[in-house]
Structure 1
């Protein structure tokens, strides 16, 4: 035997698809086997060809392709070394259902159907070989079916994402329009005190409408909004600890360094009392639900922003713009604070932590201004 014949014989005898073939049938198959080489980029077979010869890929890589209606090639699957090639046409005697192109230099064993049919034991050999290859064909069909199903799912996800993005775009435009309208009301002096709880709640309600609509239209689950049990305790404890640390220097400043406030009545600002403390927490919860839970989450989703940097920056920009009515100082402060809140939420993935932190920082700021 030559080296090629010996290597072909060994490859066929050890091939998983042929492990149940008898020694007599294997000898007949080996007798018509020949090795062939195909250069990278060349076709091993083409779709629609009448050939039904069988190939075993010894080395190299190939891909199976099919023509689309527009003439472009559609990738069906990769064909690594060790695979059978052309088994469907061999089994049913029909045309090639797909093309197979060598991606790298390939070495193959060719089993000529014409030479097999010319043998005296052709019926027995071909029957045994077809029976052995049936499982290969079934597995290949199952794989192609799974690939097609996965492709359809991806197309459906892309279509859904496109529809959701349209809703999200309308939502962000609505937020900016509301922000502009609120600023116009203040600029035109229709609102005398922007710190009045009534004005603040009216603003929140205006913003709640597009938020609720986009949550309903996009069917966003509560877990995606940061409302979840998972990580609740850890997020709450981390934020409470941070609040304690932040409170210490503020308390030292208020008790030892801040002078007595003068003309408190003339200075704008919220009245810090029990009602303020209660309503401000609810106010903060609504703000974080809309900004971190909804806006930051959607920015991260549509931008494919795994680390969250761009989502946090964009969310902070939108969040800061909502404070135009309170002045440029408030815009700058809320922008920086929103960056901090964004990274806290990114780390904790739970709305409770960032809500506690936001709430207590706001309370401390009110104390500094009021006392």
Structure 2
């Protein structure tokens, strides 16, 4: 029995026409994972799925791209009625499937099926028109988004370059200034404000750039959970370094006054003020690197979802760590390595809440408690 779905090309046929069509079709049953339409093969037939589900896919040579799945009540391969070219995709069963196979030449040569073919062709024409309209709308939306993201990326790279030059100037002028920390924080704040204004001009919602508190408690819990092993690893690395490298054996495992090694007397007030401003600095840094740069690259890079994810994470971290290379190679490295983890966490949660909490936890632990920077 043929019972087409509402959007099936056979849905325009009446019960008498469906009855005639069913009797000329070849009833077949196929087991799971059986390919019955082969890409690049020329076949003059189409199928009606009476029971089961099939998958349409393309093979690029390096990987399989699943286009869609079709349930019972749908037809597949019907474009062969209006196009005698080779198949553009392959189709296989996802479970045991019952189908009717229709030979197009047999239908076309029999005048009794002229009314059926006319109705099917009309239905196919309407579907192709709808698909073309949908494809055009999607294409325009994608191009508009890529254009907006490319403009944003260019502006972000310009801001990042100015940020790197400003940090370099501060680093070279530190002997002329009483303190460079406050100036660096002000600089970060200014760039974050400018970047946010660029986001507002892009026309896309703030959620696209990670500015959302949706599911914040869950994201914070997950961020803390994932950060604990890294904090343990930091202690382990320092312990191995101070126990196996003679030049580092003088350093304690936990060194809160590591930030005061430049001839400055340790002071708890200054220590907590520095810690407080560092905690403020982390979300701003994450906003620039993850929210702005990584989000933009994810929309610009082509390829599979996995490739887009890791390339966006890698490139955004590489650019930001390169901006700090003038301070020291070691500082650039410790900026890059945990940044890969934070990039993955941001991709997983797509919000800045969790990744900012993780950055604060790991950064405070490494710099203010373990004193990891005294080994660089």
Tell whether the structures are fold-level matches, with TM greater than 0.5: yes
Change (3 A) 1:140 1:334: same
Change (3 A) 1:191 1:329: farther
1:166 aligns with 2:164: no
Which residue of structure 2 aligns with residue 278 of structure 1? 276
Change (3 A) 1:277 1:269: same
1:178 aligns with 2:173: no
Change (3 A) 1:316 1:354: same
1:236 aligns with 2:215: no
TM-superposed deviation, 1:359: 0.9
**RMSD of Structure 2 on Structure 1 (CA):** 4.7
Change (3 A) 1:329 1:303: same
Change (3 A) 1:303 1:257: closer
- The number of residues matched between the two structures is 283
Q: Does the CA-based 8 Å contact 1:171-1:211 persist in structure 2?
A: yes
Which residue of structure 1 aligns with residue 369 of structure 2? 367
Q: Radius of gyration: which is bigger?
A: 1
Q: Mark the runs of 5 or more structure 2 residues left unpaired by the alignment.
A: 1-9, 25-39, 48-74, 88-102, 240-250
TM-superposed deviation, 1:162: 2.7
Aligned equivalents of 2:335, 2:184: Cα separation in 1: 15
Aligned equivalents of 1:20, 1:324: Cα separation in 2: 77
TM-superposed deviation, 1:82: 6.1
TM-score by length of 2: 0.59
Change (3 A) 1:225 1:167: closer
What secondary structure sits across from 2:204 in the alignment? coil
Aligned equivalents of 2:193, 2:256: Cα separation in 1: 42
Change (3 A) 1:276 1:169: same
TM-superposed deviation, 1:83: 7.0
TM-superposed deviation, 1:346: 2.9
TM-superposed deviation, 1:165: 1.2
Deviations 1:252-271 (A, max 9, x none): 98x97558969856259997
Change (3 A) 1:327 1:268: farther
Q: Mark the runs of 5 or more structure 1 residues left unpaired by the alignment.
A: 1-13, 31-40, 44-56, 61-78, 87-99, 117-124
Which residue of structure 2 aligns with residue 151 of structure 1? 135
Aligned equivalents of 2:223, 2:180: Cα separation in 1: 26
Which residue of structure 1 aligns with residue 205 of structure 2? 221
Alignment map for 1:7-156 (pairs within 5 Å): 17=13, 19-20=15-16, 58=45, 85=81, 100-103=83-86, 108-109=105-106, 135-136=119-120, 138-156=122-140
Change (3 A) 1:16 1:362: closer
Aligned equivalents of 1:250, 1:84: Cα separation in 2: 65
Alignment map for 1:352-363 (pairs within 5 Å): 352-363=353-364
Which residue of structure 1 aligns with residue 263 of structure 2? 266
TM-superposed deviation, 1:237: 1.3
TM-score by length of 1: 0.60
Aligned equivalents of 1:21, 1:221: Cα separation in 2: 51
Q: Does the CA-based 8 Å contact 1:272-1:367 persist in structure 2?
A: no
- Of 142-151 and 324-333, deviating more is 324-333
TM-superposed deviation, 1:216: 1.7
Which residue of structure 2 aligns with residue 50 of structure 1? none
TM-superposed deviation, 1:297: 1.6
Aligned equivalents of 1:268, 1:145: Cα separation in 2: 76
Which residue of structure 2 aligns with residue 48 of structure 1? none
Change (3 A) 1:248 1:103: closer
Change (3 A) 1:177 1:223: same
Change (3 A) 1:101 1:183: same
Aligned equivalents of 2:347, 2:14: Cα separation in 1: 54
